[in-house]
Structure formats: structure tokens, C-alpha cells
Amino acid sequence: MKVAFLASEVIPYAKTGGLADVAGALPKFLARLGAEVRVFMPFYREVKAKNLTLRTVINHAAVDLAGERRDYSVVEHKADGFSVYMIVRDEYYDRDGLYGTPAGDYPDNGERFAFFARAALDSMKILGFSPDVIHGHDWQAASAFSYLKFVYADDLFFKDTRSVFTIHNLAYQGVFKKEVLAAAGLPESLFNMNDLEFFGKVNYMKGGILYATAVTTVSPRYSREIQTPEFGCGLDGLLRSRAHALSGILNGVDYADWDPATDRLIPARFSPADLAGKAASKSGLLDMFSLGNSPDAPVAGMVTRLAGQKGVDIVCDALDEIFKLGVTVVILGTGDQKIQDFLKDAKRKYPSRLGLMIAFDEKVAHTIYAGSDLFLIPSRYEPCGLTQMYALKYGTVPVVRATGGLDDTIHEFDASRRSGNGFKFAAATPAALLASLGTALDAYARKDSWSILVRNAMTSDFSWTRSAGEYLTLYHKITDQPSPKRP
Ligand code: ADP
């Protein structure tokens, strides 16, 4: 099974969120199940700065877009079990950010990411890599499906190629002015409501949903939610019409990177059998944020984009009450200026109760997963959510809103049955969050039930092997290849 991944961010090269974790880990696990995977991504400034050992595999190729020749090269990096091909075109990708700056998105994103998809498809031909499946992720890769259908329709090279489009977040659709079609070299006839037109603009994600052989989301519940007006972001009707091709496959965790027993980024190592390092990690976390050291007070962590989706404002509204419950809160995040300002104010008001870092920092993130007792995720919607799965592995108990992948992965703790791995609440309100947090604190106060809960959390298994197996089954189904037997 030959698979070409198209993703705009991939760990460890470039990351702004969960997509990068998935695009870096899933190929590794697919390769372990016998698939040959090649990942295509743009060669950003931040990748350049890493000074990796790269091999130039395509020198000065070009695609003709809108009557103009646009050059690119491709460099290869060998990852664990698969190859990563990076599209080099400095004019597009040698910039400070992946998608924009704090001032906003780059105005030519429509052109930049269409070019990425187009150059990736052409590169496959130049490299002689004829994939059984092209697997594109999110709007940044979605124009690949439009090209396959309308530009490469008669190209024998892709004759037997099938495709999968994975929606990691339906709220980001890649919507641009009509003129982007010409800039992307796509037929202007696609500007109609049955193709890419969307309220007078061009919607890249729509092309992925319409033209890919199969469409997936990153959790089963989210695949159902997005077919409703509440979560459909204007595309629920289209998604319902493709329901037969739509399914949800839960993301996994790469425990090689996320395991407190081996993690070198945390203050001390620990495991379910020996939790001493968890207490040391809590002290380390409190030191890192200068929060004094009262090891018995519960610490609730958050590692999150500061965005409406993540419900950080719900925590902001509940903050006074959370502190009254005796909880110390530690937040690492970047994003929305208003939320930042609120949190900075709160930090001035509660210097010893709130730990705050406005940054994107892997080491601090790992330290929060390891050193907290509780992990707050009050998301309004959550396609899958990785942070709850990471928190679980570090024995940090998630308190989550019951939506999307959070609902699929977190099960309410029941002390009498010794079952469950966290706490969840339904309404996106401070009151609902506080009630659930109160239940969690009751459990925290009882040492015996808390240790059962921590053990349940740490032994919840979301390894990629199972999810990668589900993707492989899907690939076999759409290409009519018999599924290999797996253990
Ligand atoms: P999303 O992709 O919607 O942001 P996910 O839960 O799927 O949410 O993935 C978020 C990923 O980004 C996790 O790996 C999390 O640890 C990481 N992350 C988010 N914010 C930060 C930050 N400020 N610093 C470091 N890592 C972060």
C-alpha cells in the first residue's frame, strides 16, 4: 500500500497544533503495519533553521499557474520509517509564520497552499511515486482533490489512485476570493454551488469533501456532530450528502514522545508503579512558574490555543470561583489578544495562584502535563483533542466538556466501580465547569479513590497502532485491495 500524505505541518519539523502531531506520527505507525508512506509538506523558514541533513531530490522543477512558470525544488528528509519531501519555494514559505503573523493570515495563503498541493502532485510524477492513496489533511491540502479531479483527470499516472481527505478542524476551511481559482490554476467553471463556490467565495475544504474518495474526521463523535447545523460550519448539508463516504477514526498518541517513564523534558520520570517522580514533577512545575510549594493544593493545568473553540473564556469567567475552591491554575497558550489580556490581569491579581506563560513551548507543555493533578479542557467543540490523551498518560486527570473526541475518550470516574478516567460536563458554562471540577476535587480529597483514578488514567491506551490499522483498512477498502491479516 503506497500512501502519499499531504500536510501543512508535521512534527518534528513545524507545528502549530494537533495536525502536526498526527501527520508526524501516523505515517510511522502505518509504515510499521507495512505501508510505504511519503509525506509532503512545505519547506518553511522554521524547518530551514533546524539545519537538517537533507537531500535534494528535485532541482528546479516548475508548475504553470495562471500562465506563469513557478519554480520549486524538493528536498527529502528521512524520518522514522518514511520519507518527508519538502516543497521549497522561498517566496511562499520562507516567512516568519506558517499561516500568518499575530497581525493576521498571509493574504496569499490561497495561492501558497494550492501551490503546495500542486507541486506535491507533480513531484510524485517526477519521483515516479505512484500512490495507491493520496491522503490530504485539512484545507491546506484540500486543493489536491480539486486538481486530481479536474487537472489530472486524464493523467494515467493517477489512474488507479484513490484519495482520503481528513478534516482535523471544520472551522478552518480555506475560504478565499473568487480570483484564487485563476491564481491556483483551477477551472473558473468550479465557481458554482455544486463545486467550490461558498457564499460568493471559493472554499478549498469543500473540494476535499466533494471529490475525495473517502472523508474522515479525527473522532467518531465529531463525524456525526459535523452533520448537524450546530457543528457543521455551513457545510453540514454537504457532509450529510457524503455521509456514506464519511467516517471517524480517533487520533492516537505516539508514546515514544509522550511517556512519563522516558520523557526527558519533564523534571522527573515516573510510571503507574512508581509515582514519586510525579510529585517531583509537580514541585518542578510550581518552581518553574514561581508558585511557591504547597504540594497538597491541587494544580489544574491547561496547554491550549487561546481561541473561542477551546473555551478558555469559560475558565476566565470561572477563575475567581476556581481559586476559592483552593485550586492553583497553570496556563500555557498563545492566541486571542483579549484572552491574553484577561489572563495577564488575572495574573496580577492572583500572582501566587495563577501560573501563566504566553508562548508555544514544548518543554513547558510537557512539564504541565507531568506536574498537574487536573487538566482543564472546556472546549466548545473538539474534533479529537490530543491534550486529554497526553494528560491521561501523565496521570493528570482531565476535566472536559463532553464534545467530539473529548466525549469519545473520557469516561466519568465512578469510585464505587473503580471505573472511568476523568470528569466531564455538558453545558459550555462556568457553572457546569465548576460543578464538574467540584466532583473532581472530591475525588482528589480521597487518597484511595484518587490513586485508582490516576492509575485508570495512566493505563488508558490510545496508541496509534489501533488507529493506523483503521486507516489501513480504509485504504484497502477504497482501493479494492484485500486487507492484510493483522494481529
Ligand atoms: P488543536 O490542534 O485544536 O490546537 P489538539 O488538542 O489536537 O488541539 O492539539 C494541540 C497540540 O498542540 C498538542 O500537542 C499540545 O500539546 C500542543 N500545544 C498547544 N498549545 C501549545 C503551547 N502553547 N505550547 C506547546 N504546545 C502546545
Pair 457, 469 in one domain = no
Pocket test for ligand 1, best of 217, 343, 386 (most atoms within 8 A of CB): 386
Pocket test for ligand 1, best of 219, 303, 360, 408 (most atoms within 8 A of CB): 303
Q: Measuring CA to CA, which residue among 96, 172, 189 is closest to residue 138?
A: 172
Pair 313, 391 in one domain = yes
Give the pLDDT confidence of 117-145 residue by residue, as tens digits. 999 999 999 999 999 999 999 999 999 99
Pair 215, 174 in one domain = yes
The rounded Å distance from CA 140 to ligand 1 centre is: 18
pLDDT reported for residue 485: 56
Pair 100, 6 in one domain = yes
Left, alpha or beta for 326 (phi > 0: left; psi -120 to 50: alpha)?
A: left
pLDDT reported for residue 276: 96
Judge whether 268 lies within some domain: no
Pair 387, 360 in one domain = yes
Who's near 273: CB < 8 A, 6+ residues apart? Answer: none
The angle formed by the CA atoms of residues 230, 231 and 236, to the nearest 5 degrees, is: 95
Low-confidence ranges of the chain (pLDDT < 70): 293, 482-487
The rounded Å distance from CA 305 to ligand 1 centre is: 7
Judge whether 10 lies within some domain: yes
The rounded Å distance from CA 386 to ligand 1 centre is: 7
Question: Is the CB of 88 within 6 Å of ligand 1?
Answer: no
pLDDT reported for residue 484: 58
Who's near 267: CB < 8 A, 6+ residues apart? Answer: 277, 280, 281, 283, 284, 285, 367, 370, 371
**Residue 161 dihedral angles phi and psi, to the nearest 5°:** -80, 130
Pocket test for ligand 1, best of 305, 361, 376 (most atoms within 8 A of CB): 305
Indicate which atom in ligand 1 lies nearest the CA of residue 168: 2
No. of H helices and E strands in the chain?
18, 20
Which residue shows C-alpha cell 522561498? 90
CB 305 within 8 A of CB 335: yes
Please give the tally of structural domains in the chain.
2
CB 92 within 8 A of CB 114: no
Question: Is the CB of 11 within 6 Å of ligand 1?
Answer: no
* CA–centroid distance for 19 within its chain: 3
Give the pLDDT confidence of 344-375 residue by residue, as tens digits. 999 999 999 999 999 999 999 999 999 999 99
Pair 14, 136 in one domain = yes
Model-level pTM? 0.93
Give the pLDDT confidence of 90-116 residue by residue, as tens digits. 999 999 999 998 889 999 999 999 999
Indicate which atom in ligand 1 lies nearest the CA of residue 19: 2
Question: Is the CB of 18 within 6 Å of ligand 1?
Answer: yes
Judge whether 258 lies within some domain: no
Beta bridge partners, 331, equal: 302, 356
Q: What b/e sequence results for 456-467 when a residue is b if at least 16 CB atoms lie within 10 Å of its CB, and e otherwise? A: bbbebebebeeb
Cα distance between residue 210 and residue 190, in whole Å: 12
Pair 308, 223 in one domain = no
Indicate which atom in ligand 1 lies nearest the CA of residue 377: 6
- Which domain range does residue 406 map to? 276-461
Pair 410, 472 in one domain = no
Pair 386, 412 in one domain = yes
Pair 373, 404 in one domain = yes
Helix axes 362-371, 276-288, angle to 10 degrees: 130
Pair 180, 52 in one domain = yes
